Amino acid sequence: MNIEKIILSDPINKWIFSYVKKDIFLVGGYIRDLLYRGFINKDRDFILKADIKKIALKTSKKFTGTFIELKKNKTCRVALQDGVFLDFSYIRNGLADDLSKRDFTINAIAWSPEQGIIDLYNGLSDLNQKIIKVVNHNNLLEDPLRVLRAYRIAAQLGLNFSEGTRNYLRKYSGGLKYVSLKRITEELFKLLCTENAAFYLYLSMEDNVLGKILGSSKQELKENLILLNQFDNYLLKLRKNDINKRLNIRLLKILQQNIGQGLSRDGLIRLSILLLNLYGTSGYGGNLIYSNTIKKKLIKIHYGMRLAGGRINCNRLYNIFNAANDCEFEIALILSVIRSRNVNKYLKRADDFKKFKRNKLLNGNEIQDILTSGPSEIIGKIQTDLHKRRFLGIIRSKKDAVHWIISNLT
């Protein structure tokens, strides 16, 4: 791999290195991902010995971004219009000192046009061995969020922990209580959007990290993590299944949709499963910070799940979808996992529920004409009754709907 060619083929990188010229390095996740999978991480961290504010302002103007001073005289950010973040941090005591304060060896690899790859802590070797290892365990104390970040990075890249590192994660997990709930939520949500979330969440539970975040015991978490593992295995089968490619492609496309706070729809489903029957020490949904949209969706999904016990007939399925409201798809997929049924069954019914609700057999004016009445609350109730009867297969056409109204309400 010609890493220099790849890095400098990016117009932003090329311009920044040309403008600053010396004592500037790319470091962290951008270099890590490029070396590990040849993956270009859009966000990037530059560390340099120069006027970071001046350079960040110049970069924001050149590439039509927004300048943000994160830490005065320490770190400036340029937020580009496509959602990419460029961070510029000042090197106070040299590159070696900066790298010594990084969290993990795989994040302590730097690159510059003059020196190429600078790997003082054998991060490249650890990458090749698929291992996460701390640079210095005391660095976890500097920012305890790094404890949770370890599981997220491992999940994203499919890595293992060195034995010593996992011991340190356990030892310093208590420091998470000093981290803002907003930062913890963002990190956990990133983990929930990975394909291997269940496995690494289980490790974090065993290491007393997950319980501290959610304010729950291992016993409370275990049952949900078993179900979450079933969900991840279910998705793995979908990705490998060649029997119904059209359904699988459709499903995976829907699951990747972003619904806010960095959560994809599969991330929301994992979060819903993880939080089933958990209320944490601070109330509903554990000790996390949710947007109103996410919180409403969680409440709807959990309400629907409470109705899912016992045998699910058409009437109960209608009530479940009705409780879930606009989260019918999420409920359908969770039910498919819990009941070990073909995903076609519940997704087809979820589609019916949404389609029948969207394309009513009779609109309000038509119902008023049949009843020879004006607008009233009963019109909405009739439409709800028609929707349910259509879902149950009792009413199938507009003619059936008119007949039912005349026979029962006139």
Q: Over the stretch 246-305, which tens digit does the pLDDT of each residue have?
A: 667 778 888 889 999 999 999 999 999 999 888 654 455 667 899 999 999 999 999 999
Contact at 8 Å (CB) between 329 and 265?
yes
Q: Flag whether pLDDT at 181 surpasses 50.
A: yes
Q: Flag whether pLDDT at 156 surpasses 90.
A: yes
More confident residue, 74 or 148: 148
Q: Give the pLDDT confidence score for residue 240 in this predicted structure.
A: 75
What average pLDDT does range 33-61 have in this prediction?
92
Q: How many CA atoms lie within 13 A of 385 on its CB side?
A: 14
Least confident window among 47-61, 121-135, 150-164, 267-281: 267-281
Q: Give the pLDDT confidence score for residue 282 in this predicted structure.
A: 46
Q: Give the pLDDT confidence score for residue 245 in this predicted structure.
A: 67
Q: Flag whether pLDDT at 189 surpasses 90.
A: yes
pLDDT 10s digits, 233-257: 988 887 777 556 666 777 888 888 9
Contact at 8 Å (CB) between 140 and 147?
yes
Whole-number Å distance between alpha carbons of 127 and 125: 5
Q: Give the pLDDT confidence score for residue 285 in this predicted structure.
A: 60
Contact at 8 Å (CB) between 315 and 349?
no
Distances (CA, A) of 181 to 186, 206, 289: 9, 21, 6
Domains of the chain: 1-129 (3.30.460.10), 130-249 (1.10.3090.10), 360-409 (no CATH)
Q: Give the pLDDT confidence score for residue 90 in this predicted structure.
A: 94
Report the 10 Å Cβ neighbour count for 309: 8
Q: How many CA atoms lie within 13 A of 387 on its CB side?
A: 22
Give the confidence band of 374 by pLDDT, cuts at 50, 70, 90.
confident
Contact at 8 Å (CB) between 16 and 24?
yes
Q: Give the pLDDT confidence score for residue 277 in this predicted structure.
A: 83
Contact at 8 Å (CB) between 286 and 215?
yes
Q: Flag whether pLDDT at 358 surpasses 90.
A: yes
What average pLDDT does range 169-188 have in this prediction?
95
